[in-house]
Amino acid sequence: MKDELVKFIDRLKGENDAILKYSEESTKQGIILPLLQHLGWNPFDTATIFPEYPVGSGKVDYSIRDGGKNKVFIEAKKVSEDLDKHYKQLLQYSFEESVQTAILTNGITWLFYLPLKVDVKWEQRKFFTINIFDQTSDMVARALIDYLSMENVISGKHVENAENVLINEQTRKLILKTLPDVWEKILTDPHHRLIDLISDETEKKCGHRPAGEVVGHFIYRNILGRKDMPVIKTFKPHEKDEIGSAKEQPEKYKTNKIKKNKYSYSGKKPKAFIFDGKRFEVKNWRDLFRKFVNAVRDEDKNDFIKILNVKGRKAPYFTRNPEELRDAKKINESDFYMETNLSANNSIKIVGKIIEEFGFSSDIFQVEL
């Protein structure tokens, strides 16, 4: 079947100039019916190819039938006809008659539809397009066999083939629609693996390893082109004798390296914090502290008992007995409680102690104000 079909399609390509002048009847007799014959159909058997099939007050040029049931509707136009203005009526007829596949063609262009896909708009029910002049004869022949050969139509395989194409196309479009949002999220809230990768490659290239916040600001400025970069305060508990000044840097790159008891958070409101490359939005300092402790719990579940080593001079910050705390809140998935009646500066001070106790890297935690 395929070899003879390819030969016929090659012949059509060779008659390009003459075919462009075909009327609708010439298109039917010279292209559509011969193609159907090459696909296994008998164009003289009205039980399988019903011409001028009535639908309500209208009609469809051809109904491809089997066992007295409509399998495919075909609407034919002359070669020079623009098909875009005709598909809605064809699909409406097909929908009313519960016909699973429909074809709109001018002999050269063939538009294939799944009319009963009610979850999408009319124009989105098209699953494949053939153009005999633009596509290879082999590609055209394979598509015609998949969606219109007598064997596939009678078995129902043509619908299965069509649905697979439509599902794959919808999946592709969904992925392409989602990827920009995912990429935006990766860049605006970069995971520590992305930052580590960029830092590693930078170190290999120049011998110096950039801090995480430097990489983050590079992404904001050079890749995203953002001017509204967040003010990020990076806590480095091991640096006790120096503090970077925001005035030393351009305003839009304001980043302070803050040290214990050297920077006051009083009167300031946190927007979020970054821990191990993940960003957590917060409402206030109490919310920040609670979410940070739970994030540490998720990060180091097996060794989380070390949290009990983080203590105040007179009272514990963490305990198994909530009665020992002024405002106790249970830590997720544990039998420990945390003190949450803390000032902004105390919250950050205890965060620094936790980072040191658990041996995290010094720039693992950042605050956005």
Please check whether residue 207 lies inside any domain of the structure: no
Q: Which pLDDT score is estimated for 50?
A: 95
For 166, counting Cβ atoms within 10 Å of its Cβ (0-12 exposed, 13-18 middle, 19+ buried), the class is buried
CA-CA distance, 237 to 235, in Å (whole number)?
6
Please tell me whether residues 30 and 134 are part of one structural domain. Answer: yes
φ and ψ of 109, to 5 deg: -95, 130
Please tell me whether residues 126 and 252 are part of one structural domain. Answer: no
Q: Which pLDDT score is estimated for 254?
A: 33
CATH number of 308's domain: 1.20.1380.10
Max Cα–Cα distance, the chain, nearest Å: 100
Please check whether residue 288 lies inside any domain of the structure: yes
Please tell me whether residues 12 and 150 are part of one structural domain. Answer: yes
Q: Which pLDDT score is estimated for 358?
A: 87
Please tell me whether residues 252 and 153 are part of one structural domain. Answer: no
Please tell me whether residues 15 and 146 are part of one structural domain. Answer: yes
Please check whether residue 208 lies inside any domain of the structure: no
Number of folded domains in the chain? 2
For 117, counting Cβ atoms within 10 Å of its Cβ (0-12 exposed, 13-18 middle, 19+ buried), the class is buried
Please check whether residue 177 lies inside any domain of the structure: no
Residue ending a domain, choose from 121, 146, 168: 168
Please tell me whether residues 236 and 125 are part of one structural domain. Answer: no
Residue ending a domain, choose from 117, 141, 168: 168
CATH number of 68's domain: 3.90.1570.30
Q: Which pLDDT score is estimated for 303?
A: 84
Range of the structural domain that residue 134 is part of: 2-168
From first to last of its 369 residues, the chain has per-residue pLDDT tens of: 889 999 999 999 888 888 988 999 999 999 999 999 999 999 999 999 999 999 988 899 999 999 999 999 999 999 888 888 888 889 888 988 999 899 999 999 999 998 887 666 777 788 888 999 888 999 899 999 999 999 999 999 998 888 887 777 767 777 788 888 887 777 666 666 777 888 888 888 888 888 777 777 777 777 666 555 454 454 444 443 333 333 333 333 333 333 444 567 888 888 999 988 888 999 999 999 999 999 999 888 888 899 999 988 888 999 999 898 988 999 988 889 999 988 888 899 999 999 988 888 877 888 888
Grouping H, G, I as helix, E, B as strand and the rest as coil, residue 317 is coil
C-alpha distances in angstroms, 361 versus 28, 271, 272, 278, 314?
Answer: 75, 22, 19, 14, 28
Please check whether residue 60 lies inside any domain of the structure: yes
The number of CA neighbours under 13 Å toward the Cβ of 166 is 21
Please check whether residue 186 lies inside any domain of the structure: no
Please tell me whether residues 134 and 241 are part of one structural domain. Answer: no
Residue ending a domain, choose from 118, 144, 168: 168
Please tell me whether residues 262 and 162 are part of one structural domain. Answer: no
Please check whether residue 204 lies inside any domain of the structure: no
How many Å separate Cα 203 from the centre of its chain? 32
Please tell me whether residues 22 and 164 are part of one structural domain. Answer: yes
pTM for the whole thing? 0.49
C-alpha distances in angstroms, 182 versus 85, 187, 188, 190, 280?
Answer: 37, 9, 10, 11, 17
φ and ψ of 161, to 5 deg: -60, -45
Please check whether residue 210 lies inside any domain of the structure: no
Please tell me whether residues 263 and 118 are part of one structural domain. Answer: no
The residue to which tokens 């993940």 are assigned: 278
Please tell me whether residues 125 and 258 are part of one structural domain. Answer: no
Q: Output the six-digit token pair for 361.
A: 């890297």
Please tell me whether residues 345 and 248 are part of one structural domain. Answer: yes
CA-CA distance, 217 to 9, in Å (whole number)?
59
Contact by Cβ (8 Å): 80, 24 = no
